[in-house]
Amino acid sequence: MSNNTFKGLNHITLRVNNIEKAEEFYSEILGFEVEKKLGRSMTVYRIGKDTLVLVEAETEYEPKSKDYRVDHFGFFVDTPEEVDKYAEFFQEKEVTILSGPSNRKTGRFIFISDPDGNMIEIFNEAG
């Protein structure tokens, strides 16, 4: 399977320690507009054609337990069938599959891990 079926970077998800402080920074300082909020712990920004997602970490709020990092990044493909083809390809190549392939309200996805443990999502969004 060639990576030329990826249509671009769909999103980057950042794990933050305080969603309100993070929203203040990204909205008021950087001037990004909130596209949608998913519950109290997830905020989605649309920046041109790209998406930045903030997710509040589930850690205690003390310095020694802070959790801040890139949670995952996602590539989008044209069809749900391509997600399934990638799942087969990843199995053949013995790539770690963390979740999926599965459906959700907005499409079909699979999460994999690179050799360093970085989480990557391959995603098709229902049109």
* Structure confidence at residue 4 (pLDDT): 67
The full DSSP string for 22-70 is HHIIIIIIS-PPEEEEETTTEEEEEETTEEEEEEE--S-SSGGG---EE
Q: 3-51: per-residue pLDDT in tens?
A: 567 887 888 999 888 899 999 988 998 788 999 999 999 999 988 888 8
* Structure confidence at residue 2 (pLDDT): 59
**pTM tops 0.85, yes or no:** no
Q: What are the extents of the domains in the chain?
A: 3-125
Question: Does residue 83 carry a pLDDT above 90?
Answer: yes
DSSP letter at 93 equals T
pLDDT-based confidence at residue 87 (cuts at 50, 70, 90): very high
Token pair of 92, please? 């053949």
DSSP letter at 94 equals T
* Structure confidence at residue 57 (pLDDT): 82
How many secondary structure helices (H) and strands (E) does the chain include? 2, 8
Task: Round to the nearest angstrom and report the end-to-end CA distance of the chain.
Answer: 24
| C-beta of residue 109 within 8 angstroms of C-beta of residue 63 | no
Q: Does residue 82 or residue 64 have the better pLDDT?
A: 82
Q: 97-113: per-residue pLDDT in tens?
A: 999 999 988 899 999 98
pLDDT-based confidence at residue 95 (cuts at 50, 70, 90): very high
CATH superfamily for 3-125 is: 2,3-Dihydroxybiphenyl 1,2-Dioxygenase, domain 1 (3.10.180.10)
Token pair of 88, please? 């087969």
